[in-house]
Structure 1
Amino acid sequence: MAEQDPQHRRRVVVLFSLPFQGHLNPMLKLASLLAARGLGVTVLHTDFNAPDPARHPVGLAFAPIHETLPGEATSPDSHILTKLLVLNAACDAPFRNTLASLLRDHHRDDDGGDVACAVVDGQCFAAMRAAGELGVPVLALRTDSAASFRNMLAIPRLRDAGYIPIKGKQLGTDMSLRHLQMFVPAEEKLDLPVPGHDPLRVRDLIRVDGCDDDEHCSFVTSVADTIRSAVSGIVINTFDAVEASELAKLQNELSLPAFAVGPLHLLKFQTPPVEQSLHEPDRGCLPWLDGHAPRSVLYVSLGSLACVDRVVFDEMAWGLAGSGVPFLWVVRPGLVITGAGDDDEAPPPLPEGFEEETRGRGRVVKWAPQREVLAHAAIGAFWTHCGWNSTLESVCEGVPMLVQPCFADQMVTARYVTHEWGVGMEVGEVIERGRVAEAVVKVMVGEDGALMRERARHLKMEASAATSSAMDGLVRYILSL
């Protein structure tokens, strides 16, 4: 760890994250690590899902931007792209005003130190632009993988090349055969390989089902253009052992330094940051796990944002019941899409008869202390949506995965888990109880599951060997700005 000297204390880093659990936690961990290395740290944040300063290290300063969010930003029935677009629009002026005020305060206060840079969530293109226009160097924190980020940057090019269908496009009579290939029905192209993005197929490309393709491409273009025009470097919560090749390609494509500072949750903290959780974890599941044999329990969680419809939820439930495998299942509020304005604070009801069928071998909780669950000896596999934080936590505990990606970068990550790193298998393209039960048994007690577990064990060793050298390099870079 770098020594804390007076010169370091005079440089201040401002951080700003999307107000979602999977984005806030990596940003707050990064904030704590930068503070521990002697930098002044100020966390700007939304009022929505605001972090509690009392739960974080004393060295961090917190400042709200006081945004006004329309309902689409917080509604569980809004898809993720709508949330991202609305949040960018709503936070633009409040972030800009708060940062400008902070800059004036530091300029007036000789002892306050100067603002070295802003570290902004890599999806917040409006905030990145605002910081750049105010003359503050910007680092983008990507909370997805390097592979997913590369795929996102390539979406406009892949769309132009016909790998992403353009819905509703009117075909003119003067279009060439080459251009007509762009409009081949998506189903006929799903298993085509994506050039330059092995092992991805068309079906693995980043997408948000139910959203307008033009809107999706416009958002991605806004992020990509801002990264290329306003950003001085990329910070990614990943490590070389899993993504060295993707990181090298990313740096080459962007001509920007990329700092692989992860796995952030494994790095040493002077005062460990408290996990930001939107739900109170049920810690009673830990003693329940104590009563089970090693590697005998399947942990099931689709994270804090992913949603499924009622039919899929019921098939998941009856697949678990039919597998005969002990399970711990996180069923949180908002997990099932209803569109009916149901009580967002209540988890969806389980299928009738499910609890009786699984009594004695299954436990359903509203939320779980995930890192402790994955580290528990009783856990044999993790049924996951492949959010990047969840994937990293599973890799770092040597737990194989059963993958059910729901949207966006989860598609890319799921393909890498199954076909690049070999530490997981798919639940199935169609969630059907018989196939679910078969997949659960295969990953928990089958020969394939044993091979995945061995590969996962090796990745765990690689993750544990990751050092803080990238973080030290990041600090040096910040001090040079």
Structure 2
Amino acid sequence: MAGQEQRRRRRIVLFPLPFQGHMNPMLQLATLLHGRGLAVTVLHTGFNAPDPTRHPAEFTFVPIHESFPAEVTSPGADIATQLLALNAACEAPFREALASLLLRGQDQDVACAVVDGQCYSALRAAHQLGVPALALRTDSAATFRSMLAYPRLRDAEERLEELVPDLEPLRARDLIRVDGSDTDALCGFIGSVADATRASASGIVINTFEGIEASELVKIQRELSRPAFAVGPLHLLSQAPAEQSLHAPDRGCLAWLDERPPRSVLYVSLGSVACVDRGVFEEMAWGLAGSGVPFLWVVRPGLVSGGGGGGGEEVPPLPDGFGKEIRSRGKIVSWAPQREVLAHAAIAAFWTHCGWNSTLESVCEGVPMLVQPCFADQLVNARYVTHGWGVGMEVGEEIERGRVAKAVTKLMVGDDAAQMRGRAYHLKMQASAATSLSIDCLVHYISSL
């Protein structure tokens, strides 16, 4: 009887975008849905494949056997071109893998597919096979709203400093962009995402919580005429193991933090994908030196682009003479266990690229931010951090050592620092109060499909 009951369990099929910032929220959501009685099958690419040993034994992991062109897998590939090529390469293999599951009968009662919202081709394929599809947005509700509005904003470059009507506090300059990327390719990608969501998604699932994005959620539901579920913060609600990382974290930095006074250290990390040129990297280093502030800095392989050291798989060399700053009051690691670092009592602030996962993790720990957005949704998130929620400040459009030192000092010990910490603590309390009610509502909705 137990075996028969297991075979009759409704199954969800998940398909994550094969990048760290997208895979972790998808698998955290899978853990929550599995805990509420749904069977889980994860379709995945061979590129950056998830590690099944890090997840419940009952999860089924199925490769789709895609063949990616170099535009997808090459380090430093143009992001818009990369995402367009990834969608084109995944559509047929995903459709075949999902169709195979559907043919297996009652032991694979597929209730719906949960597809990363950037995988518009998989959303379409699921819909064409008659499988209800939910789009998981691993970015913010505000970012998703800006993507839906993008076609009508293409001329906004002429009014960069003006607020965008109905998207406040965003200015035109805060809209999604990727410097150096082909504008038409980027617009084509965003348009495909918006069109597929409108035509093929039965609902939207967003890794956010109402305490920070209630109004954006209401507007999404009104615009799309379908439910939008705020299921975050997923890393808090899922209580899943530490995130799967493409880099091995240096846990020794936690012991180093143990030796520092409370709220004394600036944590610096630009995430797993963003990169800067050699000049910006050196200005960051000497800005940290000039600030006089203790720091923990993630200098990962590939952080520095182009010539002059770094890029590819190399850890970029530090500027000549910077070593004494590390010995006196800093620590540099190639990767850090970020959630544990942000939760550490020694951390006072976070210098971040404002990827959504990093932004949420900082909000959930009540840590103010110094923002240095590099591309895409990071621009939207940074604007909300500074002008929506008031829990951070900009490092400056020009990364210059004197300005960096001044910004760091202001964030850590300036007159505004206490107010920002107070607002950050308030958001932390709201995040802590977020419940799994939306997950329960999502499960009820899945059961009704």
Decide: shared fold, TM above 0.5: yes
How far is the alpha carbon of 1:101 from its aligned partner? 1.0
Q: Aligned residues, how many?
A: 446
How far is the alpha carbon of 1:345 from its aligned partner? 2.5
Residue 283, structure 1, aligned to residue 251, structure 2: yes
How far is the alpha carbon of 1:59 from its aligned partner? 2.1
Match of 1:195 among 162, 165, 169: 165
How far is the alpha carbon of 1:346 from its aligned partner? 2.0
Give secondary structure in 1 for the equivalent of 2:268.
Answer: strand
2:63 match: 64
Match of 1:216 among 181, 186, 192: 186
1:14 match: 13
Give secondary structure in 2 for the equivalent of 1:232.
Answer: strand
Distance in 2, Cα, partners of 1:404 & 1:82: 24
Distance in 2, Cα, partners of 1:217 & 1:126: 16
1:263-289 deviation line (CA, Å, top 9, x unaligned) = 0111154xx344110000000000000
Match of 1:411 among 365, 375, 379: 379
Q: What letter matches 2:296 in structure 1?
A: L
Match of 1:371 among 327, 332, 339: 339
Is the alpha carbon distance of 1:99 and 1:274 closer, same or farther for their aligned partners in structure 2, counting shifts above 3 Å? farther
1:181 match: none
Contact 1:57 1:273 in 2 (8 A): no
Q: What letter matches 1:45 in structure 2?
A: H
How far is the alpha carbon of 1:339 from its aligned partner? 6.5
How far is the alpha carbon of 1:54 from its aligned partner? 1.1
1:206 match: 176
1:163 match: 156
Distance in 2, Cα, partners of 1:386 & 1:96: 34
Q: What letter matches 2:361 in structure 1?
A: E
1:117 match: 112
1:323 match: 291
Contact 1:8 1:38 in 2 (8 A): no
1:253 match: 223
Is the alpha carbon distance of 1:21 and 1:137 closer, same or farther for their aligned partners in structure 2, counting shifts above 3 Å? same
Is the alpha carbon distance of 1:76 and 1:248 closer, same or farther for their aligned partners in structure 2, counting shifts above 3 Å? same
Distance in 1, Cα, partners of 2:264 & 2:47: 39
Give secondary structure in 1 for the equivalent of 2:42.
Answer: strand
Contact 1:234 1:259 in 2 (8 A): yes
1:112-138 deviation line (CA, Å, top 9, x unaligned) = 141010000000011111111111100
Distance in 2, Cα, partners of 1:64 & 1:280: 24
Contact 1:400 1:453 in 2 (8 A): yes
Contact 2:13 2:41 in 1 (8 A): yes
1:30 match: 29
Q: What letter matches 1:406 in structure 2?
A: C
Q: Bigger shift: 73-82 or 219-228?
A: 73-82
Contact 2:139 2:377 in 1 (8 A): yes
Q: Show structure 1 runs of 5+ residues with no match.
A: 165-185
1:418-463 deviation line (CA, Å, top 9, x unaligned) = 0010000000011110000000000011111111011000100000
Q: What letter matches 1:267 in structure 2?
A: L
Contact 1:301 1:385 in 2 (8 A): yes
Match of 1:429 among 397, 404, 424: 397
Is the alpha carbon distance of 1:268 and 1:55 closer, same or farther for their aligned partners in structure 2, counting shifts above 3 Å? closer
Distance in 2, Cα, partners of 1:358 & 1:69: 41
2:130 match: 135
Q: What letter matches 2:151 in structure 1?
A: P
RMSD, aligned CA: 1.6
Is the alpha carbon distance of 1:341 and 1:437 closer, same or farther for their aligned partners in structure 2, counting shifts above 3 Å? closer
Give secondary structure in 2 for the equivalent of 1:359.
Answer: helix
Distance in 2, Cα, partners of 1:31 & 1:394: 23
Give secondary structure in 1 for the equivalent of 2:304.
Answer: coil
2:103 match: 104
Contact 1:77 1:338 in 2 (8 A): no
Match of 2:121 among 104, 123, 126: 126
Q: What letter matches 2:338 in structure 1?
A: Q
Is the alpha carbon distance of 1:237 and 1:463 closer, same or farther for their aligned partners in structure 2, counting shifts above 3 Å? same
1:230 match: 200
Distance in 1, Cα, partners of 2:388 & 2:138: 20
Match of 2:235 among 262, 265, 280: 265
2:358 match: 390
Distance in 2, Cα, partners of 1:309 & 1:136: 45
Contact 2:13 2:42 in 1 (8 A): yes
How far is the alpha carbon of 1:8 from its aligned partner? 10
Q: Show structure 2 runs of 5+ residues with no match.
A: none
Match of 2:433 among 465, 468, 471: 465
Distance in 2, Cα, partners of 1:267 & 1:123: 23
Distance in 1, Cα, partners of 2:238 & 2:327: 40
Contact 1:261 1:468 in 2 (8 A): yes
Contact 2:174 2:380 in 1 (8 A): yes
Contact 1:307 1:337 in 2 (8 A): yes
Give me the TM-score of the superposition, normalised by structure 2. 0.97
